[in-house]
Amino acid sequence: MEYIDYYKILGVSKTATPEEIKKAYRKLARKHHPDLNPNDAEAGKLFQQINEANEVLSDSEKRKKYDQHGKDWKNADHFEQARKQQQQSGYAGSNPFESAGNPFGNRGEYHSYEDGDGDFSDFFASMFGNRGGRGNRQAHFKGQDYRATLQMNLSDAYKAHPQTFTVNGKNIRITVPAGVENGQEIKIAGYGAPGVNGGPKGDLYITIEIKNNTSYVRKGNDLYANVPLDLYKAILGGEELVNTLSGTVKMKVAAETQNGTKVRLKGKGFPVYKKDGLFGDLYLTYQIQIPKNLTEQERELFRQLANQSQK
């Protein structure tokens, strides 16, 4: 019987945990399943080997015997029986198959338990069937997941955003919740590929790509922006109209406001994802604008102010 390295087939080490074996099996079985690889004989053969490897390595007792006896692991009990008979008879040789109590026949007559097809071990054939008509067991696999990308503007992400996708000719209408972030992934269960052998459908994953079409900088749920402020208003004080994503706000500017002064508008930032009524804050930085194209009269007034401030 040809030796099959089950660990190599699943791509795991000999010290792999049951969880690692299970994860590796599911990944490979889904990839090489015959229904997903029609007319691919190699994929079909590999799929069978993957199932065989999992049947052995996922069972602690079978795995122990396989680690000890390799390709002959299924006959481990017979080996032990022969060894005991050898000890009881006082036979000192190193080969239990030469013992008169050998259950496999005399020397030179050891029978392998290879299946008639010659491609896989007898254990696989007994578990999954062969041309001789033995039982066949099929696993159920979840269908493949679909992935899509949705591009939207920052101003659209501020509100719940309806969107329609077409997947395999079927229109899927969803509403992207307000506050979604750039790079965020949204899962829509059951809208992937059909399952295999009656398994569940895959899922649809949508990755959000947000383009900033505003003057704001978004950091989490907070927004940041610069506000130009003319020199006269900065000195004398007054009111300033500021645009926010929820509308225009009238700000009161204190007299003698300095360049770079920062103010916070609480609750005027970005909505918190899936938390109705909760918003971040809007942080504004005043940038005082120096007047240009002054008339001679205006320059004279500034000179008078400068002289006055030096006294």
Query: Which domains are present in the chain?
Result: 6-128 (1.10.287.110), 146-211 (2.60.260.20), 217-310 (2.60.260.20)
- Identify the pLDDT of residue 102: 37
Question: Cα(199)–Cα(196) distance, rounded to whole angstroms?
Answer: 5
Tell me the mean pLDDT in the region 60-66. 87
Q: Are 267 and 279 in contact (CB under 8 A)?
A: yes
Q: For residue 208, what are the contacts with CB-CB under 8 A and spacing of at least 6? A: 150, 152, 157, 176, 180, 181, 182, 183, 184, 185, 186
What pLDDT was estimated at residue 1? 46
Weakest-pLDDT range from 64-73, 155-164, 265-274: 64-73
The total of other beta-carbon atoms located within 10 Å of residue 5's CB is 12
Examine the pLDDT at 227 and tell me if it is beyond 70.
yes
Most trustworthy range by pLDDT among 70-74, 78-82, 136-140, 280-284 = 280-284
What pTM was estimated for this model as a whole?
Answer: 0.54
Strand partners, 110: none
**Contact between 271 and 221 (Cβ < 8 Å):** yes
* Per-residue pLDDT, 153: 95
Choice among 39-53, 73-87, 196-210 with the minimum mean pLDDT: 73-87
Percent of the chain with pLDDT over 70: 76
If we measure between CA atoms, which residue out of 120, 114, 7 comes closest to residue 58? Answer: 7
Q: How confident is the model at residue 106 (pLDDT cuts 50, 70, 90)?
A: very low
Strand partners, 264: 283
Q: How confident is the model at residue 199 (pLDDT cuts 50, 70, 90)?
A: confident
Interhelix angle for 60-69 vs 41-57, to 10°? 100
pLDDT of residue 213: 95
Residue 113's pLDDT is 31
